[in-house]
Structure 1
Amino acid sequence: MTPVLRTERLDFIPYRPEHEDHFVALLRNAEVCRWMGQDLVPEPRLREVFGAILTEVYPQHRFDVWGLWLAGDYVGHAEVKPTGNVDGHELVTALAPAYWGHGLGGEAVRGLLRHAADNLGLSEAYGMVGAENTASLALCRRLGFRHVRDVVADDGSVTKMLIIPVEDPSGTAATPGSPAPRDARSTGGPV
């Protein structure tokens, strides 16, 4: 079950039905989609995706996904999920543009890294960042991510695959291959 997480300012809350409009508005924002490296998805499709989070992702424990909240306001989305690009888990965050530049992205990623170590037993995690997303690439460098390779899409766009060691609660890198405390989950996901 996806746990509630807290950082200094953010609450990571598993989605509930009443969060649907927040989720749709975030992922219908053209700027958010641009920096996430995805096309603007039609609203009905996003509502299907949200429904799948509630009816498939959570009940089947496929991966962890949250709405991000700051002082009771929805500010974004976060995930830790198996990635199809490599044998590992990807960290995904998306913030509403009104909350960019306030340090919340780094705080969200650090919260995901802590969860990956404390609850999932991961030794490393990946990020996929568009080559033009200089702000996110700079954040990843500051957090300690390193470049693995470039992934070139059919349209010629480039995404940087990044990796970071996940630290265990004692502050050291987790032991590679340490078992996760729950069953393996299926790859991919609706988002």
Structure 2
Amino acid sequence: MTPTLRTDRMLLEPYALEDQEDFVTLFQDRRVSQWMGDGPATEAEDRALFGRIFTKVYAQELFDVWAVRRNGLLIGHAEIKPTDTVQGYEIIYALAPDVWGSGLGRELAEAIVAYGFDALGLTEVYATVAASNGASLAVLNRIGFEHVRDIAEDDGSTTRVLTRRRAERPTRQD
């Protein structure tokens, strides 16, 4: 079951059925959806995606997916899930444009990474980001992600594969 997480300014919690309209609004905003998955989808496809969060992801406990809230409002989406692209776990996050530039992207990405390391016991996490998504690349760079390789996409674009490894903990010398 996807747990609830808290940061200084946000609450990450499982979606509720009542979140469908806000989810669709977020994913229908082309400024957001251009960076998500295969890019913008139809409203019907986004509604179906929202439904699958409940009927598949949560029902089968496949991976963790969160509604991201600030002051009670849905402002984003976050996931950490296994992916064949990197043979590991990938973080995915999106925030509404009206909160861009406020440091919430960094706070959100850090929270998901910390959850991966602490709760899931991962030693590294990945992110795949469009090479043209400078804002997300900058956020990930600031929190310690490093470039691994590039993937040439069928449409001629490039996807950057990044990783962050868990910091080694010092061993106690008795």
TM-score bracket, shorter-length normalisation: over 0.9
Cα pair 1:116 1:166 within 8 Å, conserved: no
Counterpart secondary structure, 2:121: coil
- Amino-acid identity (%): 45
- Distance between the aligned counterparts of 1:45 and 1:172, measured in 2? 44
1:61 and 2:61 correspond: yes
Which residue number corresponds to residue 187 of structure 1?
none
Note the residue ranges of structure 2 that are not aligned, 5 or more in a row: none
Distance change in 2, residues 1:22/1:166 (3 Å): farther
Counterpart secondary structure, 1:21: helix
Cα pair 1:3 1:14 within 8 Å, conserved: yes
Q: How does 1:1-191 map to 2 (within 5 A)?
A: 1-36=1-36, 38-167=38-167, 172=169
- Distance between the aligned counterparts of 2:37 and 2:50, measured in 1? 19
Residue deviations 1:73-126, cap 9 Å, x none? 111000000112021000000000001000000000111011112211111000
Aligned residues: 170
Residue deviations 1:156-181, cap 9 Å, x none? 100100000135xxx839xxxxxxxx
Which segments of structure 1 move beyond 2 Å, counting only runs of 4 or more? 35-39
**Aligned AA for 1:162?**
L
Cα pair 1:15 1:67 within 8 Å, conserved: yes
Cα pair 2:93 2:109 within 8 Å, conserved: yes
Note the residue ranges of structure 1 that are not aligned, 5 or more in a row: 174-191
Cα pair 2:95 2:105 within 8 Å, conserved: yes
**Aligned AA for 1:93?**
Y
**Aligned AA for 2:127?**
G
Counterpart secondary structure, 1:35: coil
Cα pair 2:109 2:140 within 8 Å, conserved: no
Counterpart secondary structure, 1:50: helix
- Distance between the aligned counterparts of 2:99 and 2:28, measured in 1? 16
Cα pair 1:36 1:130 within 8 Å, conserved: no
